[in-house]
């Protein structure tokens, strides 16, 4: 059983809305969308990636979205077959079809099928034309999740996925349940690109590396507060404690960086801690690593 089969209906519905809004430019709300059964019985079982009925005040239509990872020479024919299947199941309702292409190769599929008496067309969204950082820089976690579909440009898969997961965690670190749900959506969307191992790796790095829970951070902070109270006798308790906390954080962070540098490169430590590479290198040189 695949991830699409075990994921909750609510998450699939959310993915449909996100794809429609952020990639297709369709003004659709979650309560306007109803997921539809897509499996049809003929010679083989076939399941369209996503089919939903959209009910808005001014119109009602069927939204069909396929995510494609390679150039299929008969893709237009496949889309036409999906079209006729949906037509038979939901006659008299207009259908909007979109193919989202995320493959590594240059897009080489036709968006139409023409023959005597036949002129069929659908819309292709080529993710090669979308820089993942454009979605990564948006304020919405929904857009951040969809960045997993985009072109990673000069970044490797590991680097890009790590940035996406870290950005998502930054936006949702106070809501762990939502963070998990969005990761589930990301895994679904990344299936065709074989990125799930990188997502798991990035998630593990984040969950295992919480600076404020590390003993070295807590010890440094505690020591700094004690120093601040002592300093406060001369320069005012409040000011002394504030300075002591800042010193404690700095001391704790330096200990953490030194520990990480024993196993990781300075560049990796900089990414993990969100500290400037210059600071990491200074700590490294001071420690004599």
Encode pLDDT of 234-256 as tens digits.
Answer: 555 455 545 554 555 566 567 66
Pair (188, 240) in one structural domain: no
Do 123 and 29 sit in the same domain of this protein? yes
Q: Mark whether 121 and 78 lie in a shared domain.
A: yes
- Residue 253's beta-bridge partner residues? none
Of 37-51, 112-126, 172-186, the range with the highest mean pLDDT is: 112-126
**What is the span of the domain harbouring residue 265?**
211-287
Residue at which a domain ends, from 156, 185, 208: 208
Domain end point (choices 89, 112, 129): 129
- Is the domain of 148 the same as that of 257? no
pLDDT-derived band at 3 (thresholds 50, 70, 90) equals very low
Residue at which a domain ends, from 208, 231, 262: 208
Please report the pLDDT score of residue 63 as a whole number: 92
Same domain, 242 and 258: yes
Specify whether 116 is located in the same domain as 239. no
Question: Is 32 found in the same domain as 76?
Answer: yes
Instruction: Let me know whether 2 and 68 are in one domain.
Output: yes
Centre a 10 Å sphere on the Cβ of residue 132 and count the other Cβ atoms it contains: 22
Distance CA 100, CA 52 (A): 16
Above 60 in pLDDT, residue 218? no
Answer yes or no: are the C-beta atoms of 264 and 272 closer than 8 Å.
yes
Average pLDDT over residues 51-66: 89
Q: How confident is the model at residue 43 (pLDDT cuts 50, 70, 90)?
A: very low
Mean pLDDT value across the chain: 78
Q: How confident is the model at residue 207 (pLDDT cuts 50, 70, 90)?
A: low
Q: Within this chain, do residues 183 and 278 fall inside the same structural domain, yes or no?
A: no
Asked if 151 and 193 sit in the same domain, the reply is: yes
Q: 113-160: per-residue pLDDT in tens? A: 999 999 999 999 998 899 999 899 888 888 899 899 899 989 999 999
Model pLDDT for residues 68-102, shown as the tens digit of each residue: 888 999 999 999 999 999 999 999 999 999 999 98
Do residues 249 and 221 lie in contact, with contact meaning Cβ atoms separated by under 8 Å?
yes
The count of domains in the chain is: 3
Residue 114 per-residue DSSP state: E
Whether 3 and 99 map to the same domain: the answer is yes
* Predicted local confidence at residue 192, as pLDDT: 72
Q: In terms of domains, do 117 and 167 share one?
A: no
| Cβ(130)–Cβ(100) below 8 Å | no
Q: Which residue has the tokens 């520990």?
A: 259
């Amino acid at each position: 059983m695949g991830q699409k089969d075990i994921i909750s209906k609510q998450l699939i519905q959310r993915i449909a809305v996100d794809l429609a809004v952020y990639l297709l430019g369709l003004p659709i709300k979650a309560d306007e969308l109803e997921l539809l059964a897509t499996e049809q019985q003929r010679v083989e079982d076939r399941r369209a990636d996503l089919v939903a009925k959209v009910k808005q005040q001014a119109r009602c239509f069927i939204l069909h979205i396929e995510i494609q990872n390679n150039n299929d020479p008969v893709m237009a024919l496949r889309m036409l077959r999906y079209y006729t299947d949906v037509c038979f199941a939901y006659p008299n309702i207009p259908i909007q079809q979109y193919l989202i292409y995320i493959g590594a190769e240059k897009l080489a599929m036709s968006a139409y099928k023409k023959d005597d008496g036949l002129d069929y067309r659908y819309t292709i969204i080529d993710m090669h034309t979308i820089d993942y950082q454009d979605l990564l820089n948006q304020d919405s976690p929904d857009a951040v999740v969809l960045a997993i579909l985009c072109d990673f440009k000069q970044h490797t898969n590991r680097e890009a996925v790590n940035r996406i997961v870290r950005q998502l965690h930054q936006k949702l670190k106070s809501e762990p349940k939502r963070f998990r749900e969005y990761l589930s959506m990301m895994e679904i969307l990344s299936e065709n690109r074989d990125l799930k191992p990188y997502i798991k790796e990035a998630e593990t790095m984040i969950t295992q590396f919480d600076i404020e829970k590390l003993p070295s951070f807590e010890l440094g902070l505690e020591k700094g507060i004690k120093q601040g109270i002592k300093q406060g006798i001369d320069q005012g308790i409040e000011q002394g404690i504030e300075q002591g906390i800042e010193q404690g954080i700095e001391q704790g962070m330096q200990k953490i960086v030194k520990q990480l540098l024993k196993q990781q490169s300075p560049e990796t430590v900089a990414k993990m801690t969100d500290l400037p590479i210059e600071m990491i290198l200074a700590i490294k040189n001071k420690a004599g690593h």
